Structure 1
Amino acid sequence: MKQIIKPLLAVLAVCSATTVLAQQAPKPEQIIKWRQSAYQVLGWNSGRIKANLEGSYNKDEVVRSANIIAALANGGMGSLFPANTETGKGWHDTEVKPELFSKPAQVGEAAKRFATEANELAKVAATGDAAAVKVAYGKLGQACKGCHEDFRKKD
């Protein structure tokens, strides 16, 4: 029995240590990378929609991109802006203005507008009506622009 207990205790100790390490908060640089990556995905999918509106319209491609944008908008992106990520570098220097971290009500409203417009775009995209998608896409762009003006450093 002792021969089984010692290895079992060793395995339990390793598992416990692994669990503790896995629960440690990520470093600010890692969170900034995740944040920058999420916005790259948003930008890429927005660009796909724009290309469809300006060229040959492919409903399926627009629906996929609109759904990805809506999923990200509703996926808790606010968690990518914790304290201690006001400055620093992910893939590149963060472009977030410090005001984002001191105006939670305004940020919350901006996030709500973004999610609302993203959801509407996804809903409209499913209809296949390119003209309606163009209107919804414009409203989403305005929501993005408003947040960029208030909380993103200028290039």
Structure 2
Amino acid sequence: MKKFLMAALATTVMTAAVQASAQVSPEDQIKFRKAGYSFMSWNMGKIKAQVIDGSVEYNQQQILAAANAIAAIGSSGMGALYGPGTDRDVGSQTTRVKPELFENFPDVAQLSGDFVEAANNLVAQAESGDQAAIRTAFGRLGETCKSCHDKYRKD
């Protein structure tokens, strides 16, 4: 059943990518996905500062808002921004994506699904206010990021 769901998700990602490429130029696809990842990174930094580093006073509402932003972006259909022609620099937009990503959509779909699951768990833990649980959920989310970066992002 899980293999079937992952195959269906991969098909959906590929279909969305093809549809997006017809509506958004490859240059804009790269620009938009970079913006999404930058916004997620900024929100992850807010969580890290409060529950990992302790350099900023803990504020549950800020943590929850950041977690919700990360989950929303993760679930927004960013896979559609990996259309044809976005495997290389286009115009003024550079990309760090490896071409292998475009050859492995089922694996990418699995990694993306893992990220969304971890992001949703982070939201649930942020709602609880349990800082230890938030730290654990945040660590898991970071692991999902790393697993994709290790395979599909250029240094």
TM range (shorter): 0.7 to 0.9
TM-score (norm. length: structure 1): 0.81
Instruction: Please give the alpha-carbon distance, in whole angstroms, between the structure 2 residues aligned to 1:86 and 1:33.
Output: 13
Q: Is the 8 A contact 1:32 1:90 kept in 2?
A: no
CA deviation digits over 1:106-139, x for unaligned, max 9? Answer: 0000000000000000011001111100000000
Structure 2: which 5+ residue stretches go unaligned?
A: 1-21
TM-score (norm. length: structure 2): 0.81
Instruction: Please give the alpha-carbon distance, in whole angstroms, between the structure 2 residues aligned to 1:91 and 1:146.
Output: 28
Larger RCO: Structure 1 or Structure 2 (Cα < 8 Å, ≥ 6 residues apart)?
2
Deviates more, 1:75-84 or 1:86-95: 86-95
Trace 1:4-153 onto structure 2 (pairs within 5 A).
Answer: 25-53=23-51, 54-55=53-54, 56-89=57-90, 92-153=93-154
Instruction: Please give the alpha-carbon distance, in whole angstroms, between the structure 1 residues aligned to 2:92 and 2:129.
Output: 36
Larger Rg: 1
Instruction: Please give the alpha-carbon distance, in whole angstroms, between the structure 2 residues aligned to 1:78 and 1:25.
Output: 14
Q: Which residue identity does 2:76 align to in structure 1?
A: G
Instruction: Please give the alpha-carbon distance, in whole angstroms, between the structure 1 residues aligned to 2:38 and 2:93.
Output: 12
Q: For the aligned residues, what is the CA RMSD? A: 1.3
Q: Is the 8 A contact 1:28 1:88 kept in 2?
A: no
Question: Identity across aligned pairs (percent)?
Answer: 40
Structure 1: which 5+ residue stretches go unaligned?
A: 1-23
TM-superposed CA distance for 1:92, in Å, is 4.4
Instruction: Please give the alpha-carbon distance, in whole angstroms, between the structure 1 residues aligned to 2:133 and 2:140.
Output: 11
Instruction: Please give the alpha-carbon distance, in whole angstroms, between the structure 1 residues aligned to 2:101 and 2:81.
Output: 12
- Paired residue total: 131
| Structure 1 counterpart SS, 2:128 | coil
